[in-house]
Structure 1
Amino acid sequence: MAIRRRIDPDQGRNALEMWAAQAALDAAPADRSTIATAVRFTLEELAARAEGNSVEVRVPPFGVTQCIAGPRHTRGTPPNVVETSAGVWLELVTGRTDFATALAGGGIEASGTRADLSEHLPLFTTAELEDRR
């Protein structure tokens, strides 16, 4: 079942490209609207590529999604949760850092047996983002 997108894929990709370009230059961070759009777009992309409801990925205050096939939870706190900041999330989805490194460095809080997103990240490489420019 295809997910319902709320972020236009072109706008989301443009926001992600803007974030990546600024991150590559170690420039001032992108504005809040750009970050929010990039995070929401990439959460939707993860849900589309790894459909399911067994893991909840939280990037407060911008968004949350459920992904990864497996047992579905129906009430309360899900058994498999990944939570991180917007900056760390965008670094993960663009391959600027990997899941294990971010987890070991305290940039990710993960609980549950399915909470390792390593096989699903990165969603985009920096080369892919640069090629579109």
Structure 2
Amino acid sequence: MPTGLLRSYRPVVSSPHIKSTAVVAALAALDEGRTPERPVLRDAVRALLTALVERAPGRSVEVRVPPYGAVQCIPGPRHTRGTPPNVVETDPQTWLAVATGRLAWSEAVSDGRIRVSGIRADLSGYLPVQPG
């Protein structure tokens, strides 16, 4: 096959346009009081996690948004085995709200919608990663 004809084997997943479309679609569904379709919510969560990693590269904090994704970010000492000492965990809807600036980090943590452990687990300086 000529070089100019090579394409990603997963073009829909690889396209940044599709990912930003997923964020917009998920937020629109939430604004309308609906639950976003599972694939849309998954793609939106993953796109925003990827944006966080791009903004705060590193491996000292693990951010978990079950069941859709987990990433390591924030500069500092990295952890390689077992449960990391710096963990952030939340549900998909809260992650979308915090990652797009619709919900303040401090409010989500104080309400218990985001669970944090470790001295590096404060993401407030890196959020929002995309305006909502």
Sort the TM-score into its range (normalised by shorter chain): 0.7 to 0.9
Give the 5 Å matches for 1:37-52: 37-52=43-58
Aligned length: 120
Give the aligned residue type for 1:43: L
Give the 5 Å matches for 1:77-116: 77-116=83-122
C-alpha displacement at 1:120, in angstroms?
A: 0.6
C-alpha displacement at 1:29, in angstroms?
A: 1.6
The answer to whether the Cα contact below 8 Å between 1:58 and 1:65 also exists between their aligned partners in 2 is yes
Q: Within 1, Cα distance between the matches of 2:58 and 2:14? A: 19
Superposed CA RMSD: 1.2
2:66 to 52, 60, 63: 60
Q: Percent identity?
A: 47
C-alpha displacement at 1:7, in angstroms?
A: 4.5
Q: Within 2, Cα distance between the matches of 1:96 and 1:114? A: 23
2:28 to 21, 34, 39: 21
* Gap runs ≥5 in structure 1: 1-5, 127-133
TM-score (norm 1): 0.86
TM-score (norm 2): 0.86
Per-residue CA deviation, residues 12-40 of structure 1 (Å, 9 max, x unaligned), is 1000011122223x331210110000001
Larger radius of gyration: 2
* Gap runs ≥5 in structure 2: 1-12
Q: Secondary structure at the match of 1:97?
A: coil
